[in-house]
Structure 1
Amino acid sequence: MELRHLQYFVTVAETGGFGRAARTLHVSQSAISEQIRDLEAEIGVMLFDRGQRQIRLTVEGELFLEGARETLHTASEAVEKVRRAKRGEEGRLTIGFFVGGNGRYFPALIRAFRKRYPRVKVALVEMTPTQQWQALGNAVIDFGFTRPNMGSLVEGVKTEILFKERLYVAMLKDHKLADRKEIPIALLRDERFVLSERVTSSSLYDRVLKLCAQAGYSPNIGATASVSSGVLSLVEAGEGISVVAAGSRFLALNELSFVPLQGAEAYVDLVMAWPIRRTSGPLKAFLELARTFRNAT
């Protein structure tokens, strides 16, 4: 039994005749008659009473009509669902992010995407940059807002720079450098540093060490934390100063000041990453919207 058999049967039942059904479906009347006979032979039941001038459904035909309509409707819905998914209008999307790395761009983008594509089920998962790379490689997430992967390459994952985030020196408000407009990295030579752990954000950690090396010293790292909020809490506790990305300022605590770090290389990349081979309709739609937001910023 094929969907075509059901479509022919429903059309004959609704139009009240083989000729009318043929004109509606733009096929020959003989073709419809043959398909209906095949259908009746397959299920072993007469669906139409052909003894009258106008054919009528048998009792069994009336019961079958209800099921045939439901089946055709379900099939039609399935086809439309697939088409919506291809257009990015329906499906699932799991997005990795890390606090302090996306600023105000991220929540605005998510709100806009949910509004534009309400049928797409979006799951947001907080992960460190390193965890995101592992999740992308293991197909746990579909998309990540992360830092460049400074370790081994993850096969099949494409990246695109979203922003070059300015680096800032985070310090207590009463710090002697807190009133400066910019701070050269050389002025931090004698400071005690609080940094994000390299295992969770290698690109930021390595950038800070590189800048210090260019200034002729190795930083005195007094403490580390796994996330940006932890780093800032340690700075507020008086454990030292830190060099953080611009997005971390939105986690600002009342006792802290953020001063831009001086220099053309005082930045760290924020990237979008996604598996090339699993690029679904919703992912393509999200990527397109993310690019639009980036270009408008």
Structure 2
Amino acid sequence: MELRHFRYFLAVAEERHFTRAAQRLGISQPPLSQQIRQFEAEVGAVLFHRLPHGVALTEAGERLLQDARTILRDADKALDNARRAARGEWGVIRIGFTSSASFHPFVTGAIRDYRLAYPEVRLELIEANTVRLFELFQAEQLNAAFIRPAPGESGALGEMPLFREEMLVALPADHRLAAQPRVALTELADETFILYPRRNGRALYDDIVGACQAAGFNPHVEQEAPQMASTITLVATGLGISIVPASMKHLAARGVTYRPIDGEEPRAAMSLVHFGGGSPAATRAFVGIVEARLEREQAGKA
């Protein structure tokens, strides 16, 4: 028994006439009559009384009419759901981000763009350090993530470089350098540093330490904080200073002053890491949304 038989039956039942039903279906009348006879044979009951000027439903036909409408409606819904899933409009997507990424307007804007474009996809957001996010990729528990990866760290995963963010010096508000409009790295040689630990994400740590070494000193790291926001909190207590991505200034922590770096400054690279070929349609759709936003921003800067 095929769905087309139900569609043929429904057309004849609603039109109460074979010729009009055939015109509605875009076929000729004799094949339609033949298909209805085959359908009646499969059902094992006569569905129509053939009248001189049309047809009338039998008792079996009346009963089948109710179910045929439900069957066809459910079949159309199932096909529509399958097509929407293939377009990435259905399902679940898990997006990760590091703590510092959550403060950057590009990241929040891209997630908002996706939510507006695909409102029926269930979005799960996961905040974790870089090492943990790559572990989630390996366990196939993550579709995409905003990460600051070290060179080669993404491995076989897809990687879309997004931007290289300016970095700022985070100082206690009463620090001697807080009154300056800009701070040179050489002025930090004797300072106590609070940094995000290298074991949680080596790219950012190495960029900061490398910039300090290029300025002629190794930073004295007295404290480490598991999250970038915790780093800012510790700076506010007066335990030390830090160098952080510029987007962290959106964390308006009382007692912290942010100053640009005078001279050549380190840059914090951000990428979208994701599964490449064979990834779910929802992942491909999200990558497309991020790519479109990146193109708009780059065009705006041109």
The structural deviation recorded for 1:245 is 0.9
- Determine whether 1:27 maps to 2:27: yes
Give distance in 1, aligned partners of 2:168 and 2:265: 12
Letter in 2 for 1:12: V
Correspondence for 1:82: 82
Correspondence for 2:287: 287
The structural deviation recorded for 1:225 is 1.3
The structural deviation recorded for 1:116 is 3.4
Give distance in 1, aligned partners of 2:3 and 2:118: 31
- Determine whether 1:120 maps to 2:121: yes
The structural deviation recorded for 1:91 is 3.6
Give distance in 2, aligned partners of 1:150 and 1:239: 32
Correspondence for 2:148: 147
Give distance in 1, aligned partners of 2:168 and 2:290: 25
Give distance in 2, aligned partners of 1:75 and 1:123: 30
- Determine whether 1:105 maps to 2:112: no
Correspondence for 1:63: 63
Tell whether the 8 Å contact from 2:17 to 2:53 is kept in structure 1 after alignment.
no
SS at 2:199 equivalent: coil
The structural deviation recorded for 1:272 is 1.0
Give distance in 1, aligned partners of 2:278 and 2:241: 42
Correspondence for 2:37: 37
Tell whether the 8 Å contact from 1:101 to 1:245 is kept in structure 2 after alignment.
no
Letter in 1 for 2:147: T
SS at 1:46 equivalent: coil
Tell whether the 8 Å contact from 1:194 to 1:242 is kept in structure 2 after alignment.
yes
Give distance in 1, aligned partners of 2:50 and 2:150: 73
Give distance in 2, aligned partners of 1:36 and 1:265: 79
Tell whether the 8 Å contact from 1:137 to 1:154 is kept in structure 2 after alignment.
no
The structural deviation recorded for 1:87 is 4.0
Tell whether the 8 Å contact from 1:133 to 1:154 is kept in structure 2 after alignment.
no
Identity across matched positions, percent:
33
Correspondence for 2:134: 133
279-288 or 41-50, which deviates more: 279-288
Give distance in 1, aligned partners of 2:101 and 2:182: 21
Give distance in 2, aligned partners of 1:170 and 1:180: 12
- Determine whether 1:46 maps to 2:66: no
Give distance in 2, aligned partners of 1:264 and 1:216: 13
Runs of at least 5 residues in structure 2 that lack an aligned partner in the other structure: none
Give distance in 2, aligned partners of 1:239 and 1:2: 75
Tell whether the 8 Å contact from 2:168 to 2:246 is kept in structure 1 after alignment.
yes
- Determine whether 1:198 maps to 2:166: no
The CA deviation string for residues 116-164 of structure 1, in whole angstroms up to 9 with x for no partner, is 3322322222222222222233321222111124564432x21112221
Runs of at least 5 residues in structure 1 that lack an aligned partner in the other structure: none
Letter in 2 for 1:73: R
Letter in 1 for 2:61: G
- Residues 139 and 263 from structure 1, CA distance in 2 versus in 1: closer, same or farther, beyond 3 angstroms? farther
CA root-mean-square deviation: 2.3
Give distance in 1, aligned partners of 2:234 and 2:78: 54
Tell whether the 8 Å contact from 2:209 to 2:218 is kept in structure 1 after alignment.
yes
261-270 or 162-171, which deviates more: 261-270
Alignment length (residue pairs): 296
Superposed, 1:106-255 pairs within 5 Å as 106-150=107-151, 152-155=153-156, 157-255=157-255
Tell whether the 8 Å contact from 1:100 to 1:249 is kept in structure 2 after alignment.
no
Letter in 1 for 2:260: P
Letter in 1 for 2:229: S
Give distance in 2, aligned partners of 1:125 and 1:153: 18
SS at 1:193 equivalent: strand
TM normalised by structure 2 equals 0.88
Correspondence for 1:271: 271
TM normalised by structure 1 equals 0.90
The structural deviation recorded for 1:52 is 5.5
Give distance in 2, aligned partners of 1:61 and 1:277: 50
